[in-house]
């Protein structure tokens, strides 16, 4: 059984937008993730995507991240870091380990 995707945004300590995703990101909800990324990415400043509560990320979720790669910092767990690396996202964006 899949874990429903929950998305929320907030202002980080530095004033930038932080989009937090929890659950699973797959083709069934990638459009919602893409829309949330687009909203978080409005304006010229960079933003952060916190994936520490994401249990699963498939190619549809990775595809949603690609257009924002130059302006986004991704917080990822050790489980997701290899997925971001194999996908080719880590050389074109900033990926930081979850605290």
Mean pLDDT of the chain: 92
pTM beyond 0.85: the answer is yes
The C-alpha torsion from 44 through 22 and 58 to 97, rounded to 10°, is 70
Range of the domain at 22: 6-97
- Domain of 93, CATH number, reads 3.30.750.24
- DSSP-H helix ranges across the chain: 30-40, 59-65, 81-87
Q: Is the pLDDT of residue 99 over 90?
A: no
Whether 51 is covered by a domain: the verdict is: yes
CB distance 95 to 89 below 8 Å: yes
pLDDT tens, 71-82?
A: 999 999 999 989
**Structural domain total, the chain:** 1
């Amino acid at each position: 059984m899949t874990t429903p995707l929950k998305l929320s945004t907030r202002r980080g300590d530095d004033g930038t937008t932080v989009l937090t995703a929890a659950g699973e990101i797959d083709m069934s909800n990638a459009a919602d993730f893409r829309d949330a990324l687009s909203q978080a990415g409005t304006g010229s400043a960079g933003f952060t995507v916190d994936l520490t509560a994401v249990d699963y990320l498939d190619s549809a979720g990775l595809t949603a991240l690609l257009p924002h790669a130059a302006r986004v910092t991704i917080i990822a767990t050790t489980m997701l870091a290899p997925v971001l690396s194999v996908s080719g996202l880590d050389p074109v964006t900033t990926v930081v380990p979850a605290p």
